[in-house]
Amino acid sequence: MNDPRASSLCDNLLIPFHGFGLAYFGFTALSLILNVAPLPPLEAQKSLPDTLAVLSFLISAMAFSYFCLRHRFAPQYRVAQQTTVITLIAASTASFVFFQYRFDTPTRCFYTAAVWLTHGSYISSFLKGETSFISTCLQCGLLALVPAVYATFRASSCQLPLTYNFAIYAASNAIGGLIYLIRLPEKFGAPVSSSKAIMHISVVGAAMVLSERLLAAHNSSTVFSIEECKGLK
C-alpha cells in the first residue's frame, strides 16, 4: 500500500521507539557503572574486563538508536546509522565470546581480536564505498556465527551459557533484515515503511533481551561446567 501518510506514520512511530531504546540502554549502562564504581580498587580492577564487555555492547546499541533518531530528521546521518549497525554486530559477537569463553583465554583472545579486526576492515571498506551495506552486514553476520558454532563442538567452562541466547539474537536480527530486504509486509498490502519498522524493532528488541543476559553473565560468580556451557540449551 503506497500511502504516504501511512508510511510516514510508520516512520514516526520509530521515533518514540528509538527514544525508549536510547533511554533503556543508557540507563542500563549508567546503572552498571554505578554498581561497579563503589567497589574496592582491587575488586573493581578485577571486574573491569567484564564491565567493558557489557558496556561495549550497550554503547553500540545506544549509538544505533541515537543515529536512527538523527537520520529521521537529517538524511545525511544515513551512513553513520548504517555504520552503527555493523559496530553493533561486532560488539554483540565480542561480548558473547568474552563470557562464553571466559575461562578459555587463548580462544577468547583469538575470537575477540578476529571480530574487531575483521569488522574494522569491513567498516573501512563500507565507508570507502568498496562494499554495499547489505553485503557488509551479511559478511558480519556469517562471521558472528563462527564462535557460536564452535561453542557447540568445543566448549569450555563459562561464566554463563550464552550460545542459545546469542543464536536467538542473531536469528531475530536475520529475520528482521530478511523481512526488510524482500519487503514482505508490503507484499500483503502493508504501508511501504512497515518492513523497515519491523527490522528496527527486531534489532532493538533483540538487543534489549541480549543485554539482560549479558548483565546476568557479568553478575555471575558461578563457573559452569563444559557440559553446561556446550550446545544450544
Look at residue 72 in the predicted model and tell me its pLDDT.
85
Look at residue 84 in the predicted model and tell me its pLDDT.
96
222: left (phi over 0), alpha (psi -120 to 50) or beta: beta
DSSP string, 21-66: HHHHHHHHHHHHHHHHTTS-HHHHHHHHHHHHHHHHHHHHHHHHHH
Convert the pLDDT of each residue in 99-156 to its tens digit: 999 888 899 999 999 999 999 999 999 999 999 999 999 999 999 999 988 888 877 7
User: Residue 144: helix, strand or coil by DSSP?
Assistant: helix
Q: Which of 174, 89, 75 is nearest to 126 (CA)?
A: 89
- pLDDT score of 9 more than 70: no
Distance between CA atoms of 145 and 149, rounded to whole angstroms?
6
C-alpha cell, 122: 569491513
pTM for the model stands at 0.91
User: Residue 101: helix, strand or coil by DSSP?
Assistant: coil
Q: Which of 116, 89, 40, 102 is nearest to 207 (CA)?
A: 89
Inter-residue contact 204 to 65 (CB < 8 Å): yes
User: Residue 157: helix, strand or coil by DSSP?
Assistant: coil
Q: Tell me the domains of the chain and their CATH numbers.
A: 4-229 (1.20.1070)
Look at residue 61 in the predicted model and tell me its pLDDT.
97
CA dihedral (172, 149, 104, 227) in degrees, to 10, reads 100
Convert the pLDDT of each residue in 75-91 to its tens digit: 889 999 999 999 999 99
Distance between CA atoms of 217 and 213, rounded to whole angstroms?
6
Convert the pLDDT of each residue in 137-146 to its tens digit: 999 999 999 9
